[in-house]
Structure 1
């Protein structure tokens, strides 16, 4: 199963339209994410990330709902173990 994970953009590190990159916080885990598909996304926005690409903007309520579901499934610990 493929799953997109919500995260909050904490910084945008590259503004180039094709290689737009940012740091996204996934409940304490921070990773570099490609933001090219979401040129309107800014710091503080919540996005859904799949295989390193932000694919959709979401609101904070939706992000928190997904994180609560992941907590109930004990999947957040798996994310922390997989983080580089």
Structure 2
């Protein structure tokens, strides 16, 4: 199952790329925010992350409600976090 998971922006692109850092369930990962072109993004904003891309900006209340629901899925949520831990699109890493 592939889920969209809320992530909190902890680092914004500053190097001419569309790559930002989000934190999801204690895991920090680089995600592409290029699909949110035109959105004003600031640290602390929440985005819905799917397969390495921020798909939409969401508010904190929606993020909290979604995370609560996802945690209730148990194994599916844990599997998604494991997949997130194993992925990295950080252009600075080889």
Shared fold per TM-score greater than 0.5? yes
Counterpart in 1 of 2:79?
Answer: 78
Alpha-carbon shift at residue 2 of structure 1 (Å) = 4.3
Alpha-carbon shift at residue 14 of structure 1 (Å) = 3.6
Q: Which 10-residue stretch deviates more, 73-82 or 60-69? A: 73-82
More RCO (CA 8 Å, sep 6+)? 2
Partner of residue 29 from structure 1, selected from 21, 27, 30: 27
Alpha-carbon shift at residue 42 of structure 1 (Å) = 1.9
Q: 5+ residue gaps in structure 2?
A: 87-94
C-alpha root-mean-square deviation of aligned residues, in Å? 1.7
Counterpart in 1 of 2:4?
Answer: 4
Counterpart in 1 of 2:41?
Answer: 41
Q: 5+ residue gaps in structure 1?
A: none
Runs of 4+ more than 2 Å apart: 13-16, 79-82
Greater helix percent: which structure? 2
